[in-house]
Amino acid sequence: MAAEGAEENGRAAEVGPVARPTIRDVATRAGVSKSLVSLALQNAPRVAPQTRAAILAAAEELGYRRNAAAHALGAHRTRTIGVFVLDLHNPLTADVLDAVQAEARRRDYRTIIVVGGEDAAAERAELEKLLEFRVEGIIAVGHRLPDGADAAFTADCPAVIIGSDHRSTPHLASVSNDDVMGAGLAVDHLVSLGHERIACVDGGPSAVARDRRRGYRTAMRRHGLGDAIAVVKGSFTEDGGYRGASQALDLPERPTALFVVNDLAAMGAMAAVEDRGLSVPDDISVVGYDGTRLAGIRPIGLTTVGQPLQQMGTQAAARLCGQLDGEVCGQARTRLPPSLIERRTTARVLR
Amino acid sequence: MAAEGAEENGRAAEVGPVARPTIRDVATRAGVSKSLVSLALQNAPRVAPQTRAAILAAAEELGYRRNAAAHALGAHRTRTIGVFVLDLHNPLTADVLDAVQAEARRRDYRTIIVVGGEDAAAERAELEKLLEFRVEGIIAVGHRLPDGADAAFTADCPAVIIGSDHRSTPHLASVSNDDVMGAGLAVDHLVSLGHERIACVDGGPSAVARDRRRGYRTAMRRHGLGDAIAVVKGSFTEDGGYRGASQALDLPERPTALFVVNDLAAMGAMAAVEDRGLSVPDDISVVGYDGTRLAGIRPIGLTTVGQPLQQMGTQAAARLCGQLDGEVCGQARTRLPPSLIERRTTARVLR
DNA sequence: CATGCTTGCTGGACCGTTCCAGCACAGGAG
DNA sequence: CTCCTGTGCTGGAACGGTCCAGCAAGCATG
């Protein structure tokens, strides 16, 4: 029966956009007022069961489909949250998104995703698009907007940032892992394997990179290795990792281990090691950060600091939806503990 | 000035959804009718330049933002295409999406992305959501809807499938690579390295897997290796690749090379090789399929059949937008040639 | 029997746009 | 001067829903 409706439209589709049945058409067919159809469709209580059934049947027969635009306009609500993604290529994104999506669905919110293009302008345009859609809240998985610009957006609807907690915009809610602690975990692990000359391949100016860098420094000093601290410039990309590691390996006192700002960059770092005729982990141990699936892939087996990605996604969505539903939510910034995932790119240092 | 508007709303945001300025507010401030504001905002021709400027200024001052819902309702258009993604984890997805997004943007269409959940029901719900938003067209990157169900959707708006071209639904436009040819490329390459016992780790019942399987068989026969044909069951996941390869390696006549249905599964296959104390490529050569970035990562260096992912994304978007803009588009099903990307997981067979 | 409450339904205003018909005015052609 | 054309603008209907006030009928209560 539904198929029949689709068939009818199938023909019309050839010549242009189909004139879809409206709530009024359904009302006529069911012999009731359009108001009642509206009520029945949103599962309102005061509708007689058999009337409701008749309306639902009529809707089904006509192939009625709610018009989200009209709905939003009338209801002043969309029950939709916008998800902004900075980089689809980062394997971290997929894990987080799956969890966000699942939690939102559970709470009866829908999600739409947009992805920020190359530059800040494109990112801004995508965010603007979300706002035009009148999403009720925004979840951002990474962002590169200058401080302050994001504030202008979150003035319009609540937002939660996943991953980086911008210290500069304290009003922004965030769910992140404790990067300082995570970096410490990495250093602790390497030290426990006897490493002393541990270099840090950095990620640049972002808040995340800053914290990981700081955690590295703090941990090194804690182990009495303050003099061995060596931070080289890199980035969150494979290429950045390659260049950073190259620089570190060419240091006069060559490090025996590399702590790299994220998993992707760690891939590049391993390539750099290899290109110098050295091997991982025999000559050089490598630790990444993020705990993405990529790192877990067998031929790679990267030791890394795992973020609770799924949990982060879930919490972010739960917090946002909760806030929208008027629940009182606790603190705006949640920070989850990371954990070390030991695999095959780290080994005891050779004397 | 824009910031000022944001500030004002910033306060109101605490107590609930902000009452955003409407086109009417802008009209009042600029001292014109709302119709003219509407005209000015959509860059209509018959608006005096200085009036337009005044209107734009007023809009800016008030922090006006178009309401997409109202727009859609009035204009009977959304200029939005919906992108359905089956699996965000497949690294192929990101490449394709980037290209789709870029092309759509170039043609002044916006995109929204939804991701299909665990099962066919969730997938259907997401597609339905897109339709409720009244997207003008749909691009699907993979899908698992039973044949016929997808027909019901595409009856309502034009759609292009990327990747798999469902033979069973010939009315669906698609952009794909030639899987039969690609599989042939892989076999040719292995044969040129002296391999004869080449096994195929399969991907299951999907159309894509079928074509790759068939391409493998055809090529083997072409090389006079019909007797060496060995297809083992696997899937498009790492795990499926592992199990498939395990089975292949336990064959009485152990193969010297593995052609695996996609890059992800090839990762699993390599793990299986390793677990048997064998090495890639010295003992076993491995070829993947897709040409994802994953395969290119240095520590992996997988030899693979590369799909022109970016080109596929671009063409799909171009075709869809073109159709929506009334251009006459050629054939509904485009098939691009893949190419072999030779890296370090294949080697000359040892005698 | 009047009253009030509950249940089930209706009519119409409203949301923020677009778009169409139409109007006033200016300038050029006849 | 009149007519015509084009320019710049306005008012209001329409889009497809939601939601509120209100109404009729049935029932219980006093």
- Give residue-wise pLDDT tens across range A47-81: 999 999 999 999 999 999 999 999 999 999 999 99
State the average pLDDT over residues A13-35.
80
**SS3 (DSSP) at A5:** helix
CA B347 to chain CA centroid, Å, is: 32
pLDDT of residue B327: 81
Residue entry with tokens 């109202």: B70
Q: Is A2 an interface residue toward B (CB < 8 Å)?
A: yes
Q: Which of A213-222, B114-123, B246-255 has the lowest mean pLDDT?
A: B114-123
| Candidates B114, B131, B274; nearest CB to A112 | B114
The pLDDT value given to residue A119? 82
Provide the pLDDT for residue A328: 76
B132·A65 Cβ contact <8 A: yes
**Are A69 and B271 a contacting pair at CB < 8 A?**
no
B17 contacts A136? CB cut-off 8 A:
yes
A187, A219 Cβ separation under 8 angstroms: yes
- Mark out the alpha helices in A49-119 (DSSP H runs): 49-62, 68-75, 91-106
A 305-344: CB under 8 A from B? none
pLDDT average, residue stretch B24-38: 95
Mutate to test the interface with A, among B156, B171, B264, B273 (most CBs of A within 10 A): B156
β-strands A339-341, A303-306: how paired?
antiparallel
At residue A117, the 3 state secondary structure works out as: coil
Average pLDDT for chain A: 89
Closest-CA distance, A212 to chain B, in angstroms, reads 24
* H helix count then E strand count, chain A: 14, 12
When scoring A60, A112, A147, A325 by the number of chain B Cβ atoms within 10 A, the one with the most, hence best to mutate, is A112
CB contact under 8 A, A299 and B298: no
Neighbours of A125 (CB within 10 A): 15
Q: Evaluate if residue A125 carries a pLDDT over 60.
A: yes
> Does the distance separating the beta carbons of B112 and A112 come in below 8 Å?
yes
- All residues of chain B having their beta carbon less than 8 Å from the beta carbon of residue A76 are 17
Confidence of residue A169 (pLDDT cuts 50, 70, 90): low
Residue B162's nearest CA partner among B76, B35, B290 is: B290
Judge whether residue B210 has pLDDT over 80: yes
Give dist(CA A148, CA B180) in Å, integer: 53
For chain A, which domains are there? 2-66 (1.10.260.40), 78-176+309-336 (3.40.50.2300), 179-308 (3.40.50.2300)
Quick one: pLDDT at residue B219? Answer: 98
Q: Which residues does chain A have within 8 Å of residue B298's beta carbon, measured at their own beta carbons? A: 238, 267-268, 270-271, 274
Q: Which residues, 6+ apart, have CB-to-CB distance to B279 below 8 Å?
A: B273
Report pLDDT digits (tens) over A270-284. 999 999 999 999 999
Chain B touched by A348 (CB under 8 Å): no
Between residues B9 and B313, the one the model is more confident about: B313
pLDDT digits (tens, 9 = 90+) for A287-315: 999 999 899 998 899 999 999 999 999 99
Footprint of strand C on the protein (CB under 7 A): A 32-36, 39, 46-48, 51, 70, 73-74, 76; B 19-20, 22-24, 34-35, 38-39, 41-42, 64-67, 70-71, 73-77
Give the helix/strand (H/E) hosting A121. Answer: helix A120-132
pLDDT of residue A13: 34
- Opening angle at CA A233, ends A289 and A271, nearest 5: 60
First to last CA, chain A: 77
Q: At what angle do helices B120-132 and A68-75 cross, to 10 degrees?
A: 70
Does B260 have pLDDT greater than 70?
yes
> Is B7's pLDDT higher than 70?
no
Average pLDDT over residues B329-339: 86
Q: Does A246 touch chain B (CB under 8 A)?
A: no
| Chain B neighbors of A66, CB-CB under 8 A | 132
Nearest CB among A68, A112, A238 relative to B134 is that of: A68
Report whether pLDDT(A162) > 70. Answer: yes
If contacts are CB pairs under 8 Å, which of residues 80-119 in chain A contact chain B? 88-89, 91, 93-95, 97-98, 101-102, 105, 110-115, 117
Q: Which residues of A touch B76 (CB under 8 A)?
A: 17
Question: Cβ–Cβ of B88/A89 closer than 8 Å?
Answer: no
CA B317 distance to own-chain centroid:
11
The residue ranking higher by pLDDT, B15 or B72, is B72
Q: In the predicted model, is pLDDT for residue A136 greater than 50?
A: yes
Residue B4's pLDDT is: 36
Distance A35 CA to C7 C1' (A): 16
Query: Is A18 touching B (CB cutoff 8 A)?
Result: yes
- Model confidence band, residue B1 (pLDDT cutoffs 50, 70, 90): very low
Show the CA angle centred on residue A276, arms to residues A270 and A279, nearest 5°. Answer: 55
> Do residues B329 and B319 make contact, with C-beta atoms less than 8 angstroms apart?
yes
CA distance A220 to A218: 5
Burial B247-276 (b: 16+ CB within 10 A, else e): bbbeeeeebbbbbbbbbbbbbbbbbbbeee
Please state, as a whole number, how many other Cβ atoms lie within 10 Å of the Cβ of residue A294: 24
Mean pLDDT of the region B328-350:
90
Which residue type sits at B99? A
Please give the structure tokens belonging to residue A65. Answer: 């489909």
Answer whether B71's CB lies under 8 Å from A68's CB.
no
A110 with A135: CB under 8 angstroms?
Answer: no
pLDDT tens track for B60-109: 999 999 999 999 999 999 999 999 998 898 889 999 999 999 999 999 99
Instruction: Kindly tell me the sign of the dihedral angle through the C-alpha atoms of B255, B261, B264, B265.
Output: negative
Residue B51: nearest nucleotide (C-alpha to C1'): D8
Tell me the two tokens of residue B333.
């099903």
Kindly tell me if the per-residue pLDDT of A185 is higher than 50.
Answer: yes
The beta-carbon neighbor of A18 closest among B133, B156, B271 is: B156
All residues of chain A having their beta carbon less than 8 Å from the beta carbon of residue B66 are: 132
Out of A9, A73, A97, name the one closest to residue B69 (CB): A73
Question: Chain B partners of A149 at a C-beta cutoff of 8 Å?
Answer: none
Residue nearest to nucleotide C9 (CA to C1'): A36
**Amino acid sitting at position B142:** G
Whether the predicted pLDDT of A106 surpasses 80: yes
Q: Are A256 and A285 in contact (CB under 8 A)?
A: yes
Q: How confident is the model at residue A189 (pLDDT cuts 50, 70, 90)?
A: very high
Residues 6+ away with beta carbon under 8 Å from A351: A194
| CA–CA separation, A86 and A117 (whole Å) | 7
What is the reported pLDDT for B157? 86
Q: Is the pLDDT of residue B175 over 90?
A: yes
Give residue A275's identity as a one-letter amino acid code: D
What pLDDT, on the 0 to 100 scale, is given for residue B154?
67
CA B84 – CA B333 distance, rounded (Å): 18
User: For residues A182 and A130, what is the distance between their CA atoms, to the nearest angstrom?
Assistant: 33
Residue B162 CA to nucleotide C18 C1', Å? 34
Joined tokens for residue B148: 């016929």
Tell whether A78 lies on the interface with B, counting CB pairs under 8 A: yes
Evaluate if residue A131 carries a pLDDT over 70.
yes
Question: How does pLDDT run across A232-241, given as a tens digit for each residue?
Answer: 999 988 999 9
B88, A94: Cβ pair inside 8 Å? yes
Residue A38 has pLDDT above 80, yes or no: yes
Nucleotide nearest to A71 (CA to C1'): D17
Tell me whether A192 touches chain B (CB under 8 Å). Answer: no
Do B216 and B259 contact (CB within 8 A), yes or no? yes
Nearest to A307 by CA among A284, A276, A266, A336: A336
User: Which burial class, exposed, middle or buried, applies to A95 when counting CB atoms under 10 A from its CB (0-12, 13-18, 19+)?
Assistant: buried
Select from B320, B333, B328, B330 the least CA-distant residue to B79.
B320
Q: Distance between CA atoms of B160 and B227, rounded to whole angstroms?
A: 39
